[in-house]
């Protein structure tokens, strides 16, 4: 079974700082990896999707990388803002089966 | 763009009552999923469907039932509600190229 781990569980940074969130997975035979944002009391919003053949994806101040061989993905947030405060989750889909495997998320607080 | 729509957003049930959480998507996605999220916990898969007429159990199916009569709709039925089913329920769907989209969630309290 695929295990997905996100460390740290919580992170607090001052506004303007660049930061990296980590996502590790145990089975490298992945179909894709997706990063989500969840605000309190809300649903999950898709941020970036990386296909198995890709190394990274970028959207605005966000950049996600994928290293299948080491079982790792990182989400880089540039010039953090208070509005970035949320929980960030990663999810992995394997080449076989139809399920997604989620990490438990990193709760990010950006201090003004 | 409606995406994935869940109703109701909030519901309070008494122990032993039954209800159906509705989920509809307008993206013509074949794959649909039901998850529950408990405070401080990760998402747990309840049931999923790979197409109309096909459903399969996830990690925590006990106490729930689903049906998939159309591509668009994937309702989740709770039979004989129990306090352990107090949770936030999310419906999600995906197609090609595999991006997963979520609804806003349905917050259920069983008293």
Answer whether A34 sits within 8 Å of B100, measured CB to CB: yes
For residue B97, the model assigns a pLDDT of 74
Name the pLDDT band for B1 (thresholds 50, 70, 90): low
pLDDT digits (tens, 9 = 90+) for A27-46: 999 999 999 999 998 999 99
- Cα distances from A27 to residues A30, A71, A112, B19, in angstroms, run 7, 7, 39, 38
Answer whether B33 sits within 8 Å of A100, measured CB to CB: yes
Name the pLDDT band for B70 (thresholds 50, 70, 90): very high
Q: Is the pLDDT assigned to residue B62 strictly greater than 90? A: yes
Answer whether A43 sits within 8 Å of B105, measured CB to CB: yes
For residue A2, the model assigns a pLDDT of 85
Rounded to the nearest angstrom, the minimum Cα separation between B43 and chain A is 7
Q: Dump the DSSP string for B21-85.
A: EEEEESS--SEEEEEEE-TTS-EEEEEEEEETTEEEE-S--TTEEE--SSSSB--EEE-S--GGG
Mind listing the pLDDT tens digit of every residue in chain A (112 residues)?
A: 789 999 999 999 999 999 999 999 999 999 999 999 999 989 999 999 999 999 999 999 999 999 999 999 999 999 999 999 999 999 999 988 889 999 999 999 999 9
Dmax over Cα atoms in chain B, in whole Å? Answer: 41
Q: Looking at beta carbons, which residues of chain A come within 8 Å of B89?
A: none
Name residues whose C-beta falls within 8 Å of residue B37's C-beta, 6 or more positions apart in sequence: B43, B44, B87, B88, B89, B90, B105
């Amino acid at each position: 079974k695929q295990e997905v781990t996100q460390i740290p569980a919580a992170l607090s940074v001052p506004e303007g700082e660049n930061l990296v969130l980590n996502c590790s997975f145990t089975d490298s035979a992945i179909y894709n990896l997706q990063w989500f944002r969840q605000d309190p009391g809300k649903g999950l919003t898709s941020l970036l999707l990386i296909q198995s053949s890709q190394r990274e994806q970028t959207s605005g101040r966000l950049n996600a990388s994928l290293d299948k061989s080491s079982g790792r993905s990182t989400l880089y947030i540039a010039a953090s803002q208070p509005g970035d405060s949320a929980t960030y989750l990663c999810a992995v889909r394997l080449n076989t089966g139809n399920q997604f495997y989620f990490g438990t998320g990193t709760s990010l607080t950006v201090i003004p | 763009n409606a995406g994935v729509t869940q109703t109701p957003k909030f519901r309070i049930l008494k122990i032993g009552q039954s209800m159906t959480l509705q989920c509809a998507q307008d993206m013509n996605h074949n794959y649909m999923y039901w998850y529950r999220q408990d405070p401080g916990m990760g998402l747990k898969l309840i049931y999923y469907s790979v197409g109309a007429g096909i459903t399969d159990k996830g990690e925590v199916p006990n106490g729930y039932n689903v049906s998939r009569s159309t591509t668009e709709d994937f309702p989740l039925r709770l039979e004989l509600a129990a306090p352990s089913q107090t949770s936030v329920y999310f419906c999600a769907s995906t197609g090609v190229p595999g991006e997963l989209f979520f609804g806003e969630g349905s917050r259920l309290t069983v008293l």
